[in-house]
Each structure stands twice: as C-alpha cells, then as structure tokens.
Chains A and B, each alone.
Chain A
Amino acid sequence: MNDMIICRCEDVTLGELISHIENGSQTVKSLKLQTRAGMGICQGRTCRVLVEQVMTYYADESNIISSSVGTNFPIRPIRLAELAQNGKGDP
C-alpha cells in the first residue's frame, strides 16, 4: 500500500509521506517542501485533501499543526503570452 501514489503530478507515494511524518513533519507545507507533493501542474487541487488525510491518519494528533498551504496566483495555469497581456504598458 505504501507504493500508492498520492500526488500524481510529482509521483509522491504514501510511503514517502509516511516516512517524513515519522521523521517529524508536522505540517502539510513541510511535506510539500520535502517531497514536492502538491507542487505539480494541478498545484494540489487533486492531492491536497489526500495529503491532509494522510497527515491526520499517520501523525500523532497532538503533533499536527494546521498551516495554510496557500494557493498563489494564478488560479489556474495560464500561458505567459496571455499573462503578459494583462494590464497595459511595457515595464
């Protein structure tokens, strides 16, 4: 079961997440920084809930710290050419 892929964009398995939790990771952000879970093209839209579930299931409840893994701009992937046309004027 540890081979199960949780983050499909970055190929992060359940086993990897568990090993980082056992090593002291207390936040989803910490898991993200160490495994890249949620850093792919979907930006965690698919796996985020799963990663949170893994954290609550495998971590000691008293150790979990809720943190916001912010979804930054852009809200969905956008081509550079389109992004460049936003607003006007040339920097």
Chain B
Amino acid sequence: METYDAVVIGGGVIGTSIAYRLAETRHVLLVEKTDIGAQTSGACDKAIFLQSKKPGFPIKLAKASRQIYENLEEELETSIEFHKGGGMIVIEDEDHIEFMESFVKKQQKAGIDVTLLDSKEARSIQPSLAEYIVGATYSKEDAEVNPLKLSQAFAQAAKRRGVDIRTHTEVIDIDIQNGKVVGVKTTSGYIATELVVNAGGPFAGKIAEMAGVGLTIMPRRGVILISEKINPMIFGNILCSQYIAAKHQTDEENKKKPPYGIGLSLGQTKSGNLLIGGSREFKGFQKAINDEILAAIARHATRIAPAIKPIRIIRSMVGFRPYTGDGLPIIDKVEGVEGFVIAAGHEGDGIALAPITGKLVVSLVENRKEDQSLLKPLQFKRLKAV
C-alpha cells in the first residue's frame, strides 16, 4: 500500500504552492483530476493587486503574500514573469468619486502607497484611456505575474523537493476512521495518509463532502477576452471603480450594477496579448457563454480605453472562481475530522494569495504561533455560524 505524509488535492496555484511548502519536511502526494493549472488557475488574469483589496485584514493578508513574491523567482529557480508594473483604478463616474476617495484614504492608512490622480495625470501614465474619465487611483506597488507559469513553477519546485504529482487522477473518497483521516481512495488506487489538504478551489465542496464535511463554496463564473499580440500599449494593470464596487459593495449599495457583473480588468502580458475582463456571475459550472457577454465586456473596455478598439480578440476564457461569500478563503483544520485541512475559496484573489497560502497551511499543521493573526480570520467556523 502506498503511504504519504500528506496528500494535497488540487493542482492549481493554491495546491501546488501548498505541496511545495509541505514538502520541506514531508513526503507529499499531489493529486489533480486534470492537468496542473488547467482549471481556475489557467483561466484568470495576471494581476497582483494590493490597492483593490478591502482595507483591514484583506490588505494585511495580501501584503504578506506580495512580500513573498519579491523573491519567489529566485526561490523557485525560474521566471514567472513577475513584474512591478503598477496598477490603476479608473473612475468613470462622478458618483464613484466619493466612494473611491474614502477607499484611497483607508488604503493609505493601511500603509498602501496609493494616490488619487485627475483625468490628465491618469492619461499621462496610461495614454489608451478615454478623455472623459473623471480620474484614477494609482499605486506603484501593484504587480503582475504569469499564472500559467506560476502553477508550473510551484509544481516543478515541489517535484525537486520530492513531491509526487499524479495528474488525471481523481479522489473518489476520503477514508475516515474514529474521527481521523487514514487515507484517500483515488482513481489510481488507495493512498494511506494522516493529512489531507483540500485545495480543490471551486470543487472544494465536493471534496469536503467525501470527508462528511459541509462546505459551501460556489463557483463564480468569470469571462476574460484575449487579444492578438501587440506592441506595449497598456502599462501595468487597470481596473475600473465599477470593479471595486462590484467586489466590495452589496447589491443594495451598488444600485447601478451592470449586467453580468461586469467590471474592467485590463492588462498586457509579457508576450504582448491583452487580457480584458471581466464578468462575475453565478451560473453553476456552466461553461457555455453567449456572445452578448463578450460584447458587453468589449463595450465596457473600449469605452474606458478607446485606443484598443482596432485590436483583434483571438479567444475568450471562462473560469470558475471559488466564492465563499465574504471575499476571503478558508484556511483551517476541520473540527471533528483530524487531519483534514481546507485551503480553498480564494475567489478572484488566488494568484495574489497563492504564496502566503502555502506558508499558512504549513503554520497551521505545525501549530506554529507566529501566523495566528493571519489564520484566525480565515477560520472555517466564521462561515458556518450563519
């Protein structure tokens, strides 16, 4: 019978990051039902935004993760196209000025280097923007990374540490005896282990069910357009204040909510493609989209950045972001099921938070004291107590 110290379920940015860190002291197996980084982590944008996070704990968590990015390429011994290109949130609507002003003040208080620019200043940094925009917030601390390379880099570094990676392998059941994890049944056989980490992203609920744990993580569908390769014309990442409103306000507060939950997220990859997002919808795992969503994203983006109008779109991608309900992931042990850890529910912040998630899971299973302030707000029970 095969035996491992730990089995990580899910080979996206989160699972590969966790497997890499756990492998420092453990013999780890990573089980992935398709390919590494092929689902949510392969259908997302590339931004590592700090200024878009909610002031308070979410900023603190994002900063801790951003710090790890500083030396991550060196650590993983490969390029992940990490680039400190800065980030901007465009304010289109006078109505959003007040909300964004108070948002910037809170971000500055939280120690984020962010400033409010007028329309002319914003366009001098980002010449593709429309003249009518009211202004923008700007931060040099925002960065970007290639998410495809990130998953592969974590996976390769994990392999070098002795992690076995089994792709195209599904977990069918989690074997629990006397309240303790003793193994997992997979499509390629039984694995004995006392530690299972559920990094299943939008599929984490299904995995938890196998351990008899009720976990509600909903797939929130996001669509992104990809353009042909062009010379550099977008510098750093651009969001619009509608995106922030959609992310942080309730439906009641955000009355002018556009269809499909559209908010701009625009950036250009190192290879020259524009990534143009995006929508936010609850549609189950329905991958088929109608062309009206694509048109709506194109309209929103070309209104804010008219210079991209002649650029050709070559494809679109559909991703399912794991939604917990309060914008934060769950990183916690499960009471009553010893050896079962949940690390999922990062929604649209998986890329930004992948580095810290691996470290936090290690802290959690080693019962280390130093990261308690980061782990406490990510406890499972905060969501169960409804």
Q: Tell yes or no: A84 within 8 A of B by CB.
A: yes
Q: Give the bracket for the number of chain A residues in contact with chain B.
A: 20 to 34
Residues of chain A contacted by B318 (CB below 8 angstroms): 72
A9's closest neighbor in chain B, by CB?
Answer: B229
- Decide: A87 and B228 in contact? CB cutoff 8 A: no
Q: Are A34 and B152 in touch, CB under 8 angstroms?
A: yes
Give residues of chain A (47-91) contacting chain B, Cβ–Cβ below 8 Å. Answer: 65, 67, 71-74, 77-81, 83-87, 90-91
Measured CA separation A87–B318 after assembly (Å): 20
Q: A33 at interface (Cβ–Cβ under 8 A)? A: yes
Q: Tell which of B258, B294, B308 has the most Cβ of chain A within 10 Å.
A: B294
Asked whether, in the complex, the Cβ of A41 is within 8 Å of the Cβ of B302, the reply is no
In the complex the two chains form, is A77's CB within 8 Å of B38's CB?
A: no
Select A73's contact among B37, B294, B296, B300, beta carbons within 8 Å.
B294
Which bracket fits the contact residues of B? 35 or more
Residue on B nearest A28 in the bound complex, by CB: B35
Majority secondary structure of chain B interface residues (helix, strand, loop or mixed): mixed
Q: Do A73 and B148 touch (CB < 8 A)?
A: no
Whether B292 sits at the interface, judged by CB under 8 Å, is yes
CA distance A29 to B308 in the complex (A): 29
Q: Flag B152-181 by CB within 8 Å of A: 1 or 0 each.
A: 100000000000010110000000000000
Min distance, Cβ B251 to any Cβ of chain A, angstroms: 16
Per-residue CB contact flags for chain A residues 6-50 toward chain B (1 = under 8 Å, else 0) read 000010000000000000101101100110100011010000000
B291 within 8 A of A: yes
* Minimum CB distance partner of B318 in chain A: A72
Residue in B closest to A82 when the chains form the complex, CB atoms: B298
Distance (whole angstroms) from the CB of B160 to the closest CB of chain A: 13
List B312-328 residues whose CB lies under 8 Å from chain A. 312-318
Q: Which residues of B contact A79 (CB under 8 A)?
A: 309-313
Q: How far is the CB of A68 from chain B (nearest CB, A)?
A: 11
| B315 and A80 form a contact (CB under 8 A) | no
By DSSP majority rule, is chain A's interface helix, strand, loop, or mixed? loop
Q: Quick check: B168 and A78 within 8 Å, CB to CB?
A: no
B67 interface contact, C-beta 8 A = no
B315 in contact with A86 (CB, 8 Å):
no
Instruction: Determine whether the beta carbon of B168 is less than 8 Å from that of A26.
Output: yes
Contact A72 B315, CB 8 Å, known A41-B229, A91-B258: yes
Bound-state CA distance A45–B316 (Å) is 16
Task: Kindly state the separation between the CA atoms of A28 and B258 in the bound complex, as whole angstroms.
Answer: 37
Report if B1 contacts A (CB, 8 A): no
| A residues near B289, Cβ cutoff 8 Å | 73
Query: Which B residues have a C-beta under 8 Å from some C-beta of A?
Result: 34-38, 42, 148, 152, 165, 167-168, 225, 227-229, 258-260, 262, 271, 276, 289, 291-292, 294-296, 298-303, 308-318
A and B contact pairs by CB, cutoff 8 A, 15 listed: A34-B152, A40-B229, A41-B228, A41-B314, A67-B35, A72-B317, A73-B289, A77-B314, A80-B302, A83-B294, A84-B299, A86-B294, A90-B299, A91-B258, A91-B262
The 9 tightest CB contacts between A and B, nearest first, are A86-B295, A77-B312, A81-B309, A84-B298, A91-B258, A83-B298, A30-B35, A84-B299, A91-B296
Knowing that A77-B228, A84-B299 are A-B contacts, what are 4 other residue pairs whose CB atoms are under 8 Å apart, sorted by A's residue number? A74-B294, A74-B316, A78-B312, A84-B295
